Amino acid sequence: MGWKSYLARKYVPSSIKWEAVVKGIGKLYRAIYDEMRKNGDETVPGKTLANASYRVGLDFGKDLKQALNLGGTIEDIATAMDVEHQIFGMRARITEKSESKIVYHCYRCAWQKYFCPELCMAIGQAEKGIAQALSPEAKYYIRQTRTMGKEYCVFAIEL
């Protein structure tokens, strides 16, 4: 057994583990989406996955709110989004921010190569859930995605 193989069996860096998990989740989402589409109705997969993603995001947002002692301000929502972006390997930056609105441009997402635009929009509803866990009045908009052939994703949250 070579040195690299030996090390790989004994020690896998967290960054490699996490990247593999994130990619695996993206592939799983895509496989579920494709299987649902095989069963007929073109609109069902997107709506079903959007509703499920929203519920997961809402639950995650509640956990973040409690764990990080967050309130319902746009700053607190931005903190929750930053945590979510770090966990899922997204590279996003704030391009506009006020007391009631925040706009992000996302330049990297581990899932881009696995998703089509409809699936991307559906899974993005998790961020809506996170925002609404902190402030039920929060509105979430996806304006464009990289899966649509754009250079970067644009999404906004308003209170």
In this prediction the pTM is: 0.83
pLDDT number for residue 74: 96
Q: Which residues have a Cβ under 8 Å from the Cβ of 158 and sit 6 or more positions away? A: 100, 101, 138, 139, 141
* 91 secondary structure, DSSP code: E
Return d(Cα 98, Cα 92) in angstroms, integer: 17
Q: What is the DSSP string of 33-49?
A: HHHHHHTS-SSHHHHHH
Query: What pLDDT, on a 0 to 100 scale, did the predictor assign at position 119?
Result: 87
Per-residue confidence of the chain (159 residues) as pLDDT tens digits?
576 666 666 676 666 676 777 778 888 888 888 888 787 666 677 888 899 999 999 999 999 999 999 999 999 999 999 999 988 888 999 999 999 999 999 999 888 888 888 888 888 999 999 999 999 999 999 999 999 999 999 999 999
Q: Domain 13-158: what homologous superfamily? A: Trafficking protein particle complex subunit 3 (3.30.1380.20)
Query: 70: closest CA among 136, 133, 159, 124?
Result: 133
Two structure tokens written together for 158: 């308003």
